[in-house]
Amino acid sequence: MHLKRTLIKKLIGEGKTYKEVQKIIGCSAKMISNALKWRAKPERRGRKRKTTIKMDRRITRMAKAQPMISSRMIKDSLELPVSTVTVRRRLCEANLFSRIPRKVPLLKKRHVQKRLQFAKEHINWPKEKWRNILWTDENLASPEIPFWELDPPHMASQPGARLERRPAY
């Protein structure tokens, strides 16, 4: 059908009449009429999106600028005509998944003093030995191995950020 349609359009474009095209191709006048009216429809299934591309970009931009902002705050500040769930969906589409800050042990004065004492005792150590020291408030990343290579890809966010995956509910 596609080849016939293009042939019909070509012949009519050359100035041939319906009768001449009918004889050449062997089809009805209605088929020629339909072929000339036919327009390719964009492939679209499902419900129409409530957000525009511009809205999606604004949502993503705000979430990147303020990583700790909630979907409700994004919705309210941008005055979006959609639900908070839709805002979360748009963030997921932009690979910005919900996260919570990782719990890090608080350092007490005693801890700081012991660390300082340790550092003063081992001040002459070479850099290679210092690289083997892992402090309790650090992650496993070193300058050679970024932390996002240690975690699964869905955990990667920004270098230096300490994040945990939060259960989606």
Q: Are residues 120 and 87 in the same domain?
A: no
> Among the listed ranges 2-11, 29-38, 155-164, which one has the minimum average pLDDT value?
155-164
Q: Are residues 114 and 159 in the same domain?
A: yes
Q: Is residue 44 part of a domain?
A: no
Domain that holds residue 24: 2-37
* CA gap 36, 16 in Å, rounded: 13
12 token code pair: 């009519």
Instruction: Output the pLDDT for position 127.
Output: 84
Q: Are strands 99-101 and 163-165 parallel, antiparallel or unpaired?
A: antiparallel
Task: Compute how many other C-beta atoms are within 10 angstroms of the C-beta atom of residue 91.
Answer: 20
pLDDT tens digit sequence for 91-122: 999 998 887 777 777 888 898 898 889 888 88
pLDDT tens digit sequence for 30-89: 988 888 888 877 777 888 889 999 999 999 999 999 888 889 999 999 999 999 999 999
- Residue range 149-159: mean pLDDT, rounded: 44
Residues with Cβ < 8 Å from 130, sequence gap 6 or more? 122
In the predicted structure, residue 168 carries a pLDDT above the cut 80: no
34 token code pair: 């339909």
- How does 10-21 read in b/e, with b if 16+ C-beta sit within 10 Å? ebbeeeeebeeb
Q: Are residues 121 and 156 in the same domain?
A: yes
Instruction: Output the pLDDT for position 68.
Output: 84
Instruction: Output the pLDDT for position 150.
Output: 44
Q: Are residues 92 and 114 in the same domain?
A: no
Overall domain count for the chain: 3
Q: Is residue 169 part of a domain?
A: no
Instruction: Output the pLDDT for position 169.
Output: 43
Assessment of whether the complete model's pTM goes beyond 0.75: no
Q: Is residue 48 part of a domain?
A: no
Instruction: Output the pLDDT for position 133.
Output: 77
Q: Is residue 104 part of a domain?
A: no
* CA gap 86, 64 in Å, rounded: 17
